[in-house]
Amino acid sequence: MEKLPHDPTDTQLTGVGRRNFMRYLGTSAAAGVILSACHTELVDPTQQGSGRLGDTIDLGDIGYNDTTVLNFAYALEQLESAFYTQVMMTPYANMNGYERAVLTEMRDHEINHRELYRTLLGSAAIPNLTPNFSSVNFNNRTSVLLTARTFEAIGTSAYNGSGRLLKNPDNLALAGKIVSMEARHVAILSELLGPMTAYFAGNDIVSKDTGLGEARTPEEVLALARPYIQETINGKNARMA
Amino acid sequence: MNLQNILNELENVDADVFERIEHVSRRHVFHNFLKKAAAGIAPVAFGAVLNKAYAQGNATVVDVLNFALTLEYLEAEFYNRALGSNLIMGMEGQQTFQQIALHENAHVMVLKTALGGAAISKPNFDFTAKGAFPDVFSNYSTFLKVSQAFEDTGVRAYKGQAPRLMPFPDVLTTALRIHSVEALHAAKVRYLNGARGWITGNNPGTPGVPAAIYAGDDNVIQAGVNTAQLGGVGFERATESYDEPLTKEAVLAIAAPFLA
């Protein structure tokens, strides 16, 4: 399979970044210390897996400014793109032609989203995350597709919940362009899992009383995403308390 | 009254609205809502909250929500009539369109409740679009084309209005939550049409679906960045990766033939 640039799943954990960081900090990684700002000074953020197991990546007060919200979205897009990249590197048994095509396209959409955020955030970007997909059986179709649907549904609810935190209308417009793609992915993944049913917009993700899709606060989203990320990723959303 | 006075007056009205949002939504309701939203789904009473804050009407909110209500009226009646007709849609179609109809009718209720007395009445519709789709309720293939047209337009319509709702976070969130459901519908209907769930370039993906609905969807410049050059994914994937908005005027032009 062709290798795409900047795939976190290619990462070999050398520990160099972490050692450098420890030397700089002169102490063990104390809980609660905000590392993200330091990281970008010490570790080339375009390198793979510049975050490290045991590190804490703090997104800060999500909604304080638009950069915090974009970094939050960037974290989710990193996770999704890493997932699909792994899926297509180790496709499950008997993946059919349609599945191969749409999963590849979904991967490319998520990589494009990730790279756009990386570009827009520049030096303000959080480090590359190291995914933890140990709970996923990549050789099992249901495990893969269910995980993908879960990620996309979380992503949709994250954008729905955090749109109100953005201050610049251009950023809201951009988030709007991306969230509907997450939702389109949800529908197609749902169709692969539960063909010929209402699962594409199931009552688990859309309220049957209001017809409204899910919305989650950043903290709720991070709680769901945390098990899939090796670094400890933190963030608050004081603005929504 | 000169222009400056009008502006000042509007400002005062807005400040008032903000106060009411602050009071009603944040203190009494939003706190509880967010707790329930941990499950991802907010309760039906949400519409009533919007109603309290906006019943008397902020011009922007009323304008956006009535625009949305027009589209939801259109969609809801379209599916209600299809499900009540002799249209043969098969098991998969039944399951799909019953679910979609459930949501569209709920959207109508949410928006009507939010608008209260400011809600417009349901227009009369012509789902043949002045004869362009004469067999829309007797030919499943035609029905699917019109359905795709409505759903993909709906996604672009809500997207285009979102920035106008920024001063009203609860309304914005509700609109975003409808927007994402329209996208779920759109992808499924496109799938039933044998198309991809997403839009490549400005191609409808399904012959017979009006091209105007996809005008400008081939844009790859996002926030000043040429996304066709990002991540090695190429032009087509870049166009798919971002759904483009439509202005209210463009949406109304698309919807106009369906108004009787």
Distance, in Å, from the CA atom of B113 to the CA atom of A115, rounded to the nearest integer, reads 41
Q: Tens digit of pLDDT for each residue in B43-95?
A: 334 444 455 455 445 899 999 999 999 999 999 999 999 999 999 999 999 99
Predicted confidence at residue B51, as pLDDT, reads 52
Which of the four pLDDT bands, split at 50, 70 and 90, describes residue A26?
Answer: very low
Rounded to a whole number of angstroms, the distance from the CA of A15 to the nearest CA of chain B is 26
Neighbours of A160 (CB within 10 A): 30
**Who among B188, B225, B232 is closest to A187 (CB)?**
B188
Instruction: Give the count of Cβ contacts less than 8 A between chain A and B.
Output: 232
pLDDT in tens, B226-260: 999 999 999 999 999 999 999 999 999 999 999 99
Q: Give yes or no for a contact between A18 and A55, defined as CB atoms under 8 angstroms apart.
A: yes
Using a CB-CB cut-off of 8 Å, the residues of chain B touching A6 are 231
Amino acid, res. A36? S
Q: Is residue A5 part of a domain?
A: no
Residue B182 within any structural domain of the chain: yes
What three-state secondary structure class fits B108? helix
Residues of B whose CB is below 8 A from A185: 187, 197
pLDDT of residue A91: 98
Nearest-Cα distance to chain B for A89, in Å, is 16
Residue ranges of B 106-145 with Cβ closer than 8 A to chain A: 106-107, 109-110
Residue B53 inside a domain? The answer is yes
- Distance from the Cα of B2 to chain A's closest Cα (Å) equals 29
pLDDT at B6 over 70: no
> CB–CB of B233 and A111 under 8 A?
yes
User: What is residue A62's DSSP assignment?
Assistant: T
Q: With contact defined as beta carbons under 8 Å apart, do A188 and A169 qualify?
A: no
Contact A184 B46 (CB under 8 A): no
Write out residues 168-197 of B within 8 Å (CB-CB) of A: 169-170, 172-174, 176-188, 191, 196-197
The string of DSSP codes covering B192-259 is HTTS-SS--TT--SSTTS-GGGGTTTT--EETTEEGGGSTT-HHHHHHHHSPPP--HHHHHHHHGGGB
Cβ pair A116:B230 closer than 8 A = yes
| Interchain CB distance below 8 Å, B198 and A173 | no
Cα separation, B90 vs B84, in Å, equals 14
Question: Which of A210, A221, A239 to mutate against chain B (most B CBs within 10 Å)?
Answer: A210
Count of the separate structural domains present in chain B: 1
Q: Quote the minimal CA–CA distance from B255 to chain A in Å.
A: 21
What's the pLDDT at A64? 94
| Predicted local distance difference test score (pLDDT) of residue A237 | 78
* B46 within a domain of the structure (yes/no): yes
Split at pLDDT 50, 70, 90, the class of A55 is confident
For the ranges A116-130, B1-15, B109-123, the lowest mean pLDDT is seen at: B1-15
Classify residue A8: in a domain, yes or no.
Answer: no
- CB-CB under 8 Å, A161 with B245: no
Please check whether residue B154 lies inside any domain of the structure.
yes
Residue scoring higher pLDDT (A201 or B42): A201
**Which of B162, B185, B186 is facing A163, going by the closest CB pair?**
B162
Q: Which residue has the higher pLDDT, B113 or B4?
A: B113
Return the pLDDT at B192: 98
**How many independent structural domains does chain A possess?**
1
In a domain, A1, yes or no: no
Residue A3 lies in a domain: no
Residues of B in contact with A166 (CB under 8 A): 166
Q: Does position A19 have pLDDT exceeding 90, yes or no? A: no
B118: in domain:
yes
Chain A 146-165, CB below 8 Å of chain B: which residues? 156-157, 159-161, 163-164
Mean pLDDT for B152-162 is 98
CATH number of the domain at B43, please: 1.20.1260.10
B100 touches chain A (CB under 8 A): yes
Does residue A7 fall inside a structural domain?
no
Q: What is the pLDDT of residue A202?
A: 98
Q: Which of A161, A112, A101 is nearest to B228 (CA)?
A: A112
Query: Which residues face A236 on adjacent strands?
Result: A61
Q: Is A95 on the interface with B (CB under 8 A)?
A: no
A93 inside domain:
yes
Q: For residue A200, list chain B residues with Cβ-Cβ distance below 8 A.
A: 96, 99, 184, 187-188, 191
Which chain B residues are within 8 Å of A220, Cβ to Cβ? 37-38
Between residues B142 and A13, the one the model is more confident about: B142
Cα A227 to Cα B9: distance, rounded to the nearest angstrom: 51
> Looking up tokens 């019109």, which residue turns up?
B146
pLDDT exceeds 70 at position B99? yes
- A40 pLDDT more than 50: no
pLDDT for position B46: 47
Q: Is the dihedral of CA A160, A166, A169, A173 positive or negative?
A: negative
Work out the mean pLDDT of chain A and round it to a whole number: 83
State which residue of chain A sits closest to B113, comparing Cα positions.
Answer: A210
Which range, of B12-16, B163-167, B201-205, B252-256, averages the lowest pLDDT?
B12-16
Q: A188 in contact with B at a CB cutoff of 8 Å? A: yes
How far apart CA A220 and CA A226 sit, in angstroms, is 10
**Contact call for B222 and A173, based on CB within 8 A:** no
The mean pLDDT value for A55-79 works out to 96
The dihedral over CA atoms of A134, A135, A138, A142, expressed in degrees to the nearest 10, equals: 180
How far apart, in Å, are the Cα atoms of A60 and each of A152, A179, B36, B102?
A: 23, 22, 24, 39
Give me the percent of chain A exceeding a pLDDT of 70: 76
User: Considering the domain boundaries, does residue B156 fall inside one?
Assistant: yes
* CATH number of domain containing A58: 1.20.1260.10
- Residue A87 region by backbone torsions, left for phi larger than 0, else alpha for psi between -120 and 50, else beta: alpha
State which residues form the domain around B168.
3-195+247-258
Q: pLDDT exceeding 90 applies to what percent of chain A?
A: 75
- Contact A10/B at CB under 8 A: no
- Mean pLDDT check: name the lowest of A12-26, B43-57, B93-107, B195-209: A12-26
Q: Is the pLDDT of residue A143 over 70?
A: yes
Of the pLDDT bands very low, low, confident and very high (cuts 50, 70, 90), residue A89 is: very high
Distance between CA B179 and CA B156 in Å, rounded? 8
Domain that holds residue A163: 13-236
Is residue B232 domain-resident? no
Q: Indicate whether B28 belongs to any domain.
A: yes
10 Å Cβ neighbour count for A16?
12
Task: Enumerate residues 99 to 138 of chain A having a beta carbon within 8 A of any beta carbon in chain B.
Answer: 102, 105, 108-109, 111-116, 119-120
pLDDT in tens, A179-220: 999 999 999 999 999 999 999 999 999 999 999 999 999 999
Nearest-Cα residue of chain B relative to residue A99: B196
User: Which residue has better confidence, B220 or B58?
Assistant: B220
Q: How far is B257 from chain A (nearest CA, A)?
A: 26
The residue with greater pLDDT, A23 or B155, is: B155
Q: Where are the alpha helices (DSSP H) in B55-168?
A: 59-83, 90-115, 140-161
Q: Indicate yes or no: CB of B245 within 8 angstroms of CB of A173.
A: yes
Q: Do A196 and B230 touch (CB under 8 A)?
A: no
